[in-house]
Each structure stands twice: as structure tokens, then as C-alpha cells.
Amino acid sequence: QDDVRSIVGMVDAWRGGADIVYGVRRERTTDTFFKKNTAQAFYKLMNALGGDIVYNHADFRLMSRRTLQALMAYPERNLFLRGMVSALGYPSARVYYDRKERMAGESKYPFSKMLSFALDGITSFSVRPLRYISMLGLLFILISLVAIAYGIVVYVEGNTIPGWTSLLVSVWFIGGTILMALGIIGEYVGKIYKEVKRRPRYFVEQTTGMQEPHD
């Protein structure tokens, strides 16, 4: 389905100094309405969560030798290549092409696999969902404080049902406290997660002024 003629443009971009050349679809006219919109939602969600992936790019790309060697320096086993290649940081370019309709067979990515792929991508490149738990817990605590103030007002006015205020406040406050505690634990888990991956912190693109060591 990918246009092999666009490889010529990829090679030209590589000769022009790009170490990574992404093959990017101009549009998704060959996809169904459901697949088109779920794919767009996936790209937007990944970028919102901190995963710098190229929109409408799958796995059709050209990579130089040094980018492949850099990619091999990643020791992890859960390989989300679309995010990992972008994270290498080498000069890149894009070549746009039109993807043809499938001539035979069926897509190997039904909804279940697409969902699994999206979860792998999110969990491989972002700890923000753990951070959102803390934010949600803080929101619940703020709501409980508002509920406390509201409960005091209606209690003074004598418009309360016995036990209603204490139940409302306790549910919101305890729930928010639990979520905050989970979020704090999640922050530590996220740091452990990043350390376990042992990804290289940087790659040297080029060196200048190097001298040969003396005997």
C-alpha cells in the first residue's frame, strides 16, 4: 500500500542531511470513517501526553546507519517504534505520499489490536496518566471543601437531612485523599519506570576538534 516511488524522495532527503525520513500519508481517504477518526484521536492523545510522534506516519521510513545504532542502544523490550524513533533527536524530514487501497487480504489491525497498540504507546512513553490521578484527587478534595462550606450553610439554615452532610463530605474528601495518595505513589512508580528503561540520555551527533591520544 505504501508508494515505493516515494523512496526516491526519501533518499534525496537523506542526502540533504536528514538522518530520519518519515513517509507521511497526505490523507486517509482509503480508511473507513471509524478507523480514520480513531487514528486521528490516537495521534492527538499521544502528543497531548508527551509522546512526540509524527501525525499520519506509520512505519514507512528511512533511517541512517547511526540512527539505527542509536536505536539499538535502547535496551527495553516493549518497543513502540513510532515514539522511539522520534525520541532519537537526529535531523529529520518528511516525504508525503498517497497510500493506495488494499488489493487483497484484510487489515491486521482490528479494533482490539488498535486499542492494545494505543495503550502500549501511551504506557511506553508517558507517565502523565499517573500525574492526572494526583490532579483528580486534588479536584475531589477541593470539591469536598466546597461541600463542607455548603453543608455548614444549610445546617445553620436548618435545611439538612440528618447524616446527609457528613456522608457527602466524607465520601468526597476520603475519595480525594485516596486518589492523592495514589498519585503520589504513582510519581515514585513513574520515576522507577523511567530508571528501569535505562534509555540513553543523549546521542552525540558529531564531534569537532578531537585529537589523537598520545602514547
DSSP characters over 75-94: --SS--HHHHHHHT---EEE
Residue 90 domain boundaries = 6-125
The top-scoring range by mean pLDDT among 38-52, 73-87, 108-122 is 73-87
What is the C-alpha to C-alpha distance for residues 73 and 88, in angstroms, rounded to an integer? 10
Say if 176 falls within a structural domain.
yes
52-66, 96-110, 175-189: lowest mean pLDDT where? 96-110
177 and 100 housed in the same domain: no
Say if 213 falls within a structural domain.
no
98 and 138 housed in the same domain: no
The CA dihedral of 52, 58, 64, 65, to the nearest 10 degrees, is: 100
- Written as one letter, the residue type at 13 is A
Say if 215 falls within a structural domain.
no
> Who wins on pLDDT, 183 or 64?
64
Rounded mean pLDDT, 60-87: 85
Share of the chain above pLDDT 90, in %: 8
Say if 203 falls within a structural domain.
no
Residue 127 banded pLDDT, cuts 50, 70, 90: confident
Q: With a cut of 60, say whether residue 98 has pLDDT above it.
A: yes
116 and 14 housed in the same domain: yes
Share of the chain above pLDDT 70, in %: 87
Is 200 buried (19+), middle (13-18) or exposed (0-12) by CB count in 10 A? exposed
Rounded mean pLDDT, 167-187: 80
Residue 62 banded pLDDT, cuts 50, 70, 90: very high
- Written as one letter, the residue type at 174 is I
105 and 11 housed in the same domain: yes
91 and 146 housed in the same domain: no
Rg of the chain over all Cα atoms, to the nearest angstrom: 25
pLDDT, tens digit (0-9, with 9 covering 90-100), for 19-36: 999 988 887 776 677 777
21 and 52 housed in the same domain: yes
The confidence score (pLDDT) of residue 161 equals 67
19 and 60 housed in the same domain: yes
Beta strand pairing call for 20-25 and 92-97: parallel
Domain boundary (97, 125, 153) is at 125
Say if 139 falls within a structural domain.
yes
The confidence score (pLDDT) of residue 214 equals 45
62 and 98 housed in the same domain: yes
14 and 85 housed in the same domain: yes
What is the number of domains present in the chain?
2
The confidence score (pLDDT) of residue 107 equals 63
- Residue 121's nearest CA partner among 44, 63, 64, 20 is 44
The confidence score (pLDDT) of residue 160 equals 67
Domain boundary (82, 101, 125) is at 125
Say if 1 falls within a structural domain.
no
39 and 76 housed in the same domain: yes
Say if 53 falls within a structural domain.
yes
The confidence score (pLDDT) of residue 110 equals 64
104 and 155 housed in the same domain: no
Residue 103 banded pLDDT, cuts 50, 70, 90: low
State which H helix or E strand residue 60 sits in: strand 57-63
Domain boundary (108, 125, 142) is at 125
Say if 24 falls within a structural domain.
yes
16 and 47 housed in the same domain: yes
